[in-house]
Every structure is written in C-alpha cells, then in structure tokens.
Amino acid sequence: MSGEKNWYAVHTYSGYENKVKANLEARLESMNMQDQIFRVIIPEEEETTVKDGKRKTAMKKTFPGYVLVELVMTDESWYIVRNTPGVTGFVGSQGAGSKPNPLLPEEVKFILRSMGMAERTVDFEVEVGESVNIVDGPFKNQTGEIRSIDEEHYKLTVLVEMFGRDTPVEVEFDQIEKL
C-alpha cells in the first residue's frame, strides 16, 4: 500500500519523548512497518550555558512533549503510533476517530534546519550532463552542468564557470533548479 509520506506531530507525556521514540522504533521493527513509518525525531537544538566559568553544551528540546513522525497515514500506521506507550495522540486530529493533518512542508523544513538536519526531498530527476541553475548558497545565480550525482548524501558536483574556466563545485539537491 503506497500513499504519500508526511510528517506528523505526536503529543507525548512530558519527559517521555525519548521513551516514545525508542518504543515506536522498536514497534516498527517488530511489526514490519518500515514501509509505512520511516523516521521518528525529537525536535531539539544545542544550547550552550556558562556555569562557574565553564561552557557546557547540551541538547534542549525545542518542543517538550512532542515527537515528529514521518509516515504514510494508513489505518495501521495511525493505530500503531496512537497506541505506543507514552503517546497521548496526534496533533491536529479533529476528533477521536479522525486522522490528523500532516505538518506543512515549511514547518518541517524549519524544524529540521534548526536541528541541523536539512530535510531531504528531491522533487525532480536530474542526470549527469544536464544544465542546472544554482538557486542557493555561495554559487547562487550560477548556471552549470552536472558532473556527478551523490544521491545518498543529496549532493551534486556542478561545473560552473569561474575566472574563465569550468570549476567543479559541490551543491545540495535543494540548492538547484532545472533549466
């Protein structure tokens, strides 16, 4: 069964975020749900504090009491997440029996970026030899030809003209657009 994969916010008992993540990941293994439930993350960011003259860096939860789950919404995946110990429900459900609304792509991108995890989505196919426009980063507004594609790390090597000659630069998929 293939549907669209989206991110959902799941409410947990306060302080149970790590337990919910571990429980959910264990359940998805044991129930063979890897094709419907993909990633579980706890939104957090690094926080540096200075105490007694010592710098200390720790991870601080950005949204205490919430975890984000990337899944294809089916009766089964919805049931498994809702019935994971420590979960009180999905955010955005209209009633007891209704399925929740997914988070907006912009919200997810913002949360993941703030965690240093840029969301990886590729909405188009590109091939070596194809010309692309770089729309973000230090090579913004340059046009170049794709020399190589590293799908696993979401990076491309693009030849752009600098100082009169082709120079290979590394860019991420979300920094380019097809011409």
Secondary element (H or E) of residue 48: strand 44-51
Give the residue among 58, 59, 24, 28 at the shortest CA–CA distance from 43: 59
- Sketch out the chain's domains with CATH numbers: 5-115 (3.30.70.940), 130-178 (2.30.30.30)
pLDDT single digits (tens) 116-166: 775 555 556 788 999 999 998 888 999 999 998 887 667 889 999 988 899
Q: What does pTM read for this prediction?
A: 0.62
How confident is the model at residue 79, as a pLDDT? 93
Please compute the mean of the pLDDT values over residues 109-119 and round it to a whole number: 74
Rounded Cα distance, 173 and 153, in Å: 9
Mean pLDDT estimate for the chain: 87
| DSSP bridge pairs for 58 | 47
How confident is the model at residue 152, as a pLDDT? 66
CB-based contact 132:179 (threshold 8 Å): yes
How confident is the model at residue 46, as a pLDDT? 81
Residue 1: is its pLDDT beyond 70? no
> What residues contact residue 114 under an 8 Å CB cut-off, 6+ apart?
43, 45, 62
Please tell me which residue, 173 or 50, carries the higher pLDDT value.
Answer: 50
How confident is the model at residue 123, as a pLDDT? 56
pLDDT single digits (tens) 69-90: 999 999 999 999 999 999 999 9
Burial category of 82 from C-beta neighbours within 10 Å (exposed 0-12, middle 13-18, buried 19 and up): middle
Percent of the chain with pLDDT over 70: 91
CA distances from 109 to 81, 113, 146 (A): 22, 6, 25
